[in-house]
Structure 1
Amino acid sequence: MANARTSAEAVAHAPAPAGADAMPLDPFLVPATASLQERRALTLKHGDTFGVFDRNGDIVTGAGSPEGLFHRDTRHLSHFLLTLEGARPMLLSSTLRDDNAALTCDLANPDLFDPEERLVLVHDLLHLRRFRFLWQGKCFERIVVRNFDTTVRRVRLIFDFAADFADLFEVRGTQRARRGMLNPPQLGDGSVALSYIGLDGVVRTTTLGFDPQPQKLSATRAIYDVELLPGERQLIFVEIACGEVPQGAEVRRRFFLALRDARRELRYATARAASVETSNQIFDEAFRRSVSDLYMLVTETPEGPYPYAGIPWFSTVFGRDAIITALQTLWLDPTIAQGVLRHLAANQATSFDAAADAEPGKILHEVRYGEMAELREVPFRRYYGSIDSTPLFVMLAGAYLERTGDVATIRTLWRNVRAALDWLDKEGDRDGDGFVEYGRRTAEGLINQGWKDSHDSVFHADGTLARGPIALAEVQAYAYGAWRAGAELAGALGEGALMAIFANKAERLRTAFDEAFFDAKLGTYVLALDGEKRPCRVRASNAGHALYTGLALSARAERVVATLMDVTSFSGWGVRTVASTEARYNPMSYHNGSVWPHDNALIAAGFARYGFRREAARIFNGLFAASTHIELRRLPELFCGFPRQRSTGPTFYPVACSPQAWAAATPLSLLQSCIGLSFKPDACEIIFDRPCLPDFLDEVALRDLRCGNAVIDVVLRRSAGEAAVSAIKGSAELSVITRA
């Protein structure tokens, strides 16, 4: 994951061998004191706001709990509990809509007793339905209470609430020496405003509004005394605003206006995307959930749509995550890639800043808006400490042009692309050896700056941690992809001389990489070169990324594929980050033996690039099988790397984010890899190169597949072990090409 954290599970590995170098733990880790799987939280998101709720729809925070309503890295609501006559209602069911637009919780009264322990209300006579959604920094809720008894019922409903205004890093476990001050609450007619003035001088406010007005309202509680005739129901509307509520319309009216607007926006956003229907209903459910998660995580920025990384800990701009997500979804919806490119270009570093690991031309790693970031208590206010966001940015620009033919957008980005390539050539190559290395500029920065950013994720065969500057295998692959993309972009813009220079740099890197990184004994590329250019002779998933960008020599591909699909690396669910034979292998670790869906998507794309589509389909089979054991069919950020066992599901990782953008996009990418889908917009062609279908799919229909302004529907059917392609509806000028 491209972010500023290392999980406590990532550092709780077996002790390193004697003599191993000691390394300080990452100060920005996410403590694994409570499992998100155990809490089974439900999430909603819109824009810069997200909510994490328990199954009853409540917020009950405690040690290790991520529950709350968050806005721009601050928890604006830390407690929200609904009780009936002092007791929590019984949970009947909790359901997220298929499109993630709203949460519905069905509850019923428990058996209720008077002070003398006499039963006064039998269970399941009163039904409560909570319907909740987010819109523009607000959480809207409608509670419907209905009496199914044959007599009149008088009951008391209580909403208890609180706002601690904790910074997200505090919620994650970071201790602070000082905090700001809570202001006195402000009570109005049916509303309560809670506020906090931070050490940064910013006032953060949470306003709760109730409609109708409660019988009693205080700074921590709203009380309704409800009388219901047989069959009668009563509605209560609650609005929780991360800020002050505008004057005018009442809560009830704002609820319905917001619901209308939220549905319109979602319909408009998803209308851009192609759709998929298959012969497997369960896969269709998983695919729809992936698309829904993707569009829930997409946030509109001034430059266009941008997928935030994941909930709960990374609902913000991350460079690496968004670029890879955009690459995975280019075939489905190119406007996401366009938004990512424009936003990252607008925030590209233009000067040196050691505290932010910023250098001219470098692309963002992470942006944070909370109090601790503003005060530099954490370095991530605008942080550039990733080694791969910059070459990936150039790769995405090249892939976007190839997918869309949109030269006009590329022309507006050309200055940024050139700056990124200049960074690769200068600051990115610290010692001038042609490889791209990283090393943090201050002690507060991230220790490791590849996507495996745990403090212990780069090591030698004996388990000794590598000392930097470090040249990772996959970063050289991305650099190669960037030089190749730069050449294509230069050619499209008529820069012939630059095209030749960039292409030459790519080929020189390819030769040097093979000489320095391929290890015949390992049967694959080494994990990295350390600061003394000693190879880290470790079998790791990083090598698959050399296939993804085409850096690997064709003669090496078969051995690399075989090594990655060996039982020591392929768990049955997916390729592990580190093979089980390695010194620091731990299937419960964050980066040293776990299975990451996005990592597998890139590996599968690499397999397909070199003609190993059936091996790509095996990865697809494993990850789809994993999703059938996971609630909502939702692939999480990662899961443990234990071997697949008959009739059991994967072992979950305790603090994995879910949903996560690049995990959500993984089924989309895997499908593209298997069917060999690509586009030639200049020729108005859609190409299927040696398509094959995984075992669980006999037929796939792609609808509203766009190439330029043309649209077509295509069906692939299993035939004699291959996939036959036929166009069923679409623009006459659009050609479908199948390569056997």
Structure 2
Amino acid sequence: MSSAIADAPVSGAPEYFIPAANSLQERRPNTLKHGDTFAVFDHNGDAYSGPGSPEGLFHRDTRHLSHLSVTINSARPMLLSSTLRDDNATLTCDLTNPDILNANGALILPHDSIHLRRSRFLWNGSCYERLLVRSFHEKPQRVEISIAFAADFADLFEVRGKVRKHRGQLHPAETTRHEVRLRYTGLDALERTTRIGFDPVPSRLTDTSAVYEIVLAPGESRSLFFEINCQREPVVPIGHRSFFFALRDARRALRASSGRAASIMTSNEVFNEVARRSISDLYMLITDTNEGPYPYAGIPWFSTAFGRDALITALETLWLDAEIARGVLAHLAANQAKDFDPLSDAEPGKILHEVRFGEMAELREVPFRRYYGSVDSTPLFVMLAGKYLQRTGDLATIRKIWPNIEAALKWIDDHGDRDGDGFLEYGRRTEDGLINQGWKDSHDSVFHADGTLAKGPIAIAEVQAYVYGAWEAAALMLRVLGQEDRALEFTQRTDDLRYRFDQVFFDEELGSYVLALDRDKKPCRVRSSNAGHALLTGLAFPERAGTVIKTLMGGSSYSGWGIRTVPTTESRYNPMSYHNGSVWPHDNALIALGMARYGYRQEAARIFEGLFAASTYIDLRRLPELFCGFPRQRAQGPTFYPVACIPQAWAAAAPVSLIQSCLGIEFQTKSMQITFDTPFLPDFLDELEIKNLGIGLGSVDVAAYRSGSRVMIDVLERRGSVRVVTLI
């Protein structure tokens, strides 16, 4: 999970969970994002902020618009279609009028007489909309278009369900002929403002609606523009010029960022849709920080910087676009903890878990203003730095963040291993922090075989694998920096950790690694997907890999759509839970990378097939944060989790990562070589083409295709002195 607690306990835990009062899947909302602004609308393009509804326009964790609706002659238009562009740049909603009756019940405007097209996008803290109204009636028609709006300035944690005893002050609206200004002063003394401007000037404008009275000749159309600004004044006067200038700039920025990535085309047109959506979602979620591009975790609940999520997303996409990893490393280095702060679980050298900008975070009503309560972000940071250097040879970036890498390594030794047993543990420093601080951070995600919850400090299995990966990365970077003695020290530490982990965590009876060790060092003898992460970094001895993979791919663990977080055999298994039986795409992608590392590409391809099959049943071919762990049934799609974020960065990156796992793509920057190690294609792909696959200053276009029982790699075009090697 990206933040806090999803499956809330009845008592005794902080209220940072997301209440499942309404299913996001039921409404299937449309989402837009740019920078620190995101929006959630229904299919009509409206927003209704009832209890538990995430709809509205949000900027820096505050809802700047809580209601937006359009009516025609006081009636809600009927939906014709609602479409996001393939690149997520714009939302287009096509609507028409229902039958309009007068007070006596007589028909005065037949349905489908008036067409409304709403075109909307976000750019630089503003939401732009063009509402095109066109008449297809044979006679002139007088229509009334009403645009209703409201702003509650609710903090995102209020929207998620947190009840506040006190709030700030909503000010009276300020209205001119063409603009309404809504203001709120929070208890943090910050004023938050929403400006809603209209062009042309409405017939009537109040503090809650704008009304246009329009006469349309047959075939005539009229364009209405409105702009919702969050905490900013418009640079260009509101109207068609500002709309089209901003639209041009937004599309150019998207093309420039996504243009860095290698492009993917296959023989399967449905998978091509999946790949296009994955790339589009990734680059929509990326925010340009002062340090570089940074993927925000997900919409609606986690549209902000998360350490763990971004690090894993960067690992999944490193082969495709290494610039994402560079931005993540630089941003997290800039926000690394320097001091002790128990409320935020901060310790010197620790890497960020989550940052928030809302009123409640500023007031510390929630501890997430700058929160460091994740045990895995710090080793993942070091691990990604090493992988980035391997992928790019960019030693300058590594030198720049080297003090941060050293501080992270020191944190692992000084604060991560709380009892000196050689394993990394976590435990919150105050009652306000997260109980569990691995990626499965629900309150009940770490338990013993009988269902008893483990008490901390807890050493969870996958974190030991990340430490192993971090120490391997440290050894690699130190060698490149010419510090051979220290590199050897870390190599020896990885050897020791590998041996001790096997001795303590591997359980012959389970056929897998135990989930965790509790505070008394008692093993949590539970099979789980966590064990698969030991394959990711090579922590598992080769002789264990086959046994662990067999357990993970067994019928109780593999649902047909993917590997469950815990199998059906475990005491707390619940396919509808957040972490105890559900299927997470990113979890499966990381396990598949681990399987491929040990040569089990066919098993990785089986995971790929399951997630691809799930995506074919999902709107826009968009993989959600997670879905329920019910077994796959013939001719039926997966069961959705009601409040899963969609899009979610590390889920969007999963199909991209699975391509690398199956093809065995590796990079050797010194020799400018790209290697395809025993490539394998899942059954749904006969051919796969990758264009602009870069290494150093060069790049290649390659094609993978079946030839009998093998997969062959052809170089279609080469730019620079790039070598391509296929190992069969």
Q: TM-score scaled to structure 1, two decimals?
A: 0.98
| 1:443 corresponds to 2:431 | yes
- The residue aligned with 1:128 is 116
- The residue aligned with 1:341 is 329
Q: What are the residue-to-residue correspondences of 1:171-570 with 2, within 5 Å?
A: 171-246=159-234, 249-570=237-558
Q: Distance in 1 between matches of 2:259 and 2:594?
A: 30
- The residue aligned with 2:617 is 629
Q: Distance in 1 between matches of 2:668 and 2:329?
A: 21
8 Å CA contact retained: 2:226, 2:238 = no
Cα distance, 1:25 vs structure 2: 3.5
Q: Distance in 1 between matches of 2:470 and 2:154?
A: 40
8 Å CA contact retained: 1:6, 1:26 = no
Select the residue among 75, 91, 100 that pairs with 2:63: 75
Q: Distance in 1 between matches of 2:368 and 2:407?
A: 22
- The residue aligned with 1:4 is 4
Question: What is the one-letter code of the residue matched to 2:192?
Answer: R
Superposed CA deviations along residues 67-122 of structure 1, whole A, max 9, x for unmatched, are 00000000000001100011000000000000000000000000000011111010
8 Å CA contact retained: 1:686, 1:735 = yes
- The residue aligned with 1:607 is 595
- The residue aligned with 1:663 is 651
Select the residue among 684, 694, 699 that pairs with 2:672: 684
8 Å CA contact retained: 2:7, 2:443 = no
Question: What is the one-letter code of the residue matched to 1:120?
Answer: I
Say if 1:164 and 1:700 are closer, same or farther in 2 by CA, change over 3 A: same
Cα distance, 1:731 vs structure 2: 2.3
Superposed CA deviations along residues 189-225 of structure 1, whole A, max 9, x for unmatched, are 3000000000000000000000000010010010000
Q: Distance in 2 between matches of 1:114 and 1:649?
A: 45
Question: What is the one-letter code of the residue matched to 1:612?
Answer: Y
Cα distance, 1:732 vs structure 2: 5.0
Question: What is the one-letter code of the residue matched to 1:193?
Answer: R
Q: Distance in 2 between matches of 1:7 and 1:198?
A: 30
5+ unaligned residues in a row in structure 2: which ranges?
Answer: none
Q: Distance in 2 between matches of 1:500 and 1:191?
A: 67
8 Å CA contact retained: 2:199, 2:225 = yes
Q: Distance in 2 between matches of 1:30 and 1:292?
A: 26
- The residue aligned with 2:30 is 42
Q: Distance in 1 between matches of 2:365 and 2:5?
A: 15
Q: State the secondary structure of the residue aligned to 2:250.
A: helix
Superposed CA deviations along residues 504-535 of structure 1, whole A, max 9, x for unmatched, are 11111111100000000000000000000000
8 Å CA contact retained: 2:79, 2:96 = yes
Q: State the secondary structure of the residue aligned to 1:427.
A: helix
Select the residue among 618, 626, 636 that pairs with 1:638: 626
Question: What is the one-letter code of the residue matched to 2:597?
Answer: R
Q: TM-score scaled to structure 2, two decimals?
A: 0.99
**Displacement over 4 Å in runs of 4+:** none
- The residue aligned with 1:92 is 80
Q: Distance in 2 between matches of 1:627 and 1:174?
A: 32
Q: Distance in 1 between matches of 2:124 and 2:7?
A: 31
8 Å CA contact retained: 2:348, 2:411 = yes
Question: What is the one-letter code of the residue matched to 1:533?
Answer: K
Question: What is the one-letter code of the residue matched to 1:620?
Answer: F
Q: CA RMSD in A?
A: 0.9
Cα distance, 1:250 vs structure 2: 3.3
Q: Distance in 1 between matches of 2:382 and 2:590?
A: 17
Question: What is the one-letter code of the residue matched to 1:77?
Answer: L
Q: Distance in 2 between matches of 1:415 and 1:7?
A: 38
Superposed CA deviations along residues 558-613 of structure 1, whole A, max 9, x for unmatched, are 00000000000000000000010000000000000000000000011111000100
Q: State the secondary structure of the residue aligned to 1:687.
A: strand
Cα distance, 1:257 vs structure 2: 1.0
Q: Which moved more, 1:564-573 or 1:725-734?
A: 725-734
Q: Distance in 1 between matches of 2:207 and 2:232?
A: 16
Cα distance, 1:498 vs structure 2: 1.3
5+ unaligned residues in a row in structure 1: which ranges?
Answer: 13-22
- The residue aligned with 1:19 is none
- The residue aligned with 2:90 is 102
8 Å CA contact retained: 2:697, 2:720 = no
Select the residue among 138, 142, 146 that pairs with 2:130: 142
Q: Distance in 1 between matches of 2:272 and 2:116?
A: 32
8 Å CA contact retained: 1:7, 1:32 = no
Q: State the secondary structure of the residue aligned to 2:305.
A: coil
> In percent, how many aligned pairs have the same letter?
64
Q: State the secondary structure of the residue aligned to 1:300.
A: strand
Select the residue among 688, 706, 712 that pairs with 1:718: 706
8 Å CA contact retained: 2:14, 2:432 = no
8 Å CA contact retained: 1:636, 1:657 = yes
Q: Distance in 2 between matches of 1:262 and 1:60?
A: 26
Cα distance, 1:721 vs structure 2: 2.2
Aligned residues: 728
- The residue aligned with 2:604 is 616
Q: State the secondary structure of the residue aligned to 1:160.
A: strand
Q: Distance in 2 between matches of 1:637 and 1:7?
A: 15
Q: Distance in 2 between matches of 1:603 and 1:332?
A: 19
Q: Distance in 1 between matches of 2:234 and 2:576?
A: 48
Superposed CA deviations along residues 376-413 of structure 1, whole A, max 9, x for unmatched, are 00000000000000000001000000100101111111
Question: What is the one-letter code of the residue matched to 1:654?
Answer: P
Select the residue among 542, 557, 580 that pairs with 2:568: 580
Say if 1:463 and 1:7 are closer, same or farther in 2 by CA, change over 3 A: closer
Q: State the secondary structure of the residue aligned to 1:547.
A: helix
Superposed CA deviations along residues 313-341 of structure 1, whole A, max 9, x for unmatched, are 00000000000000000011000000000
- The residue aligned with 2:583 is 595
| 1:694 corresponds to 2:701 | no
Q: Distance in 1 between matches of 2:313 and 2:323?
A: 12
8 Å CA contact retained: 1:126, 1:145 = yes
8 Å CA contact retained: 1:692, 1:721 = no
- The residue aligned with 2:141 is 153
Superposed CA deviations along residues 138-159 of structure 1, whole A, max 9, x for unmatched, are 0000000000011000010101
Q: Distance in 2 between matches of 1:69 and 1:246?
A: 17
Cα distance, 1:722 vs structure 2: 2.2
Q: Distance in 1 between matches of 2:73 and 2:270?
A: 41
Question: What is the one-letter code of the residue matched to 1:472?
Answer: I
Q: Distance in 2 between matches of 1:5 and 1:719?
A: 49
Q: State the secondary structure of the residue aligned to 1:426.
A: helix
8 Å CA contact retained: 1:89, 1:107 = yes
Q: State the secondary structure of the residue aligned to 2:417.
A: coil
Q: State the secondary structure of the residue aligned to 2:572.
A: coil
Question: What is the one-letter code of the residue matched to 2:73?
Answer: E
Q: Distance in 1 between matches of 2:500 and 2:673?
A: 36
Question: What is the one-letter code of the residue matched to 2:420?
Answer: G
Question: What is the one-letter code of the residue matched to 2:427?
Answer: G
Q: State the secondary structure of the residue aligned to 2:437.
A: coil
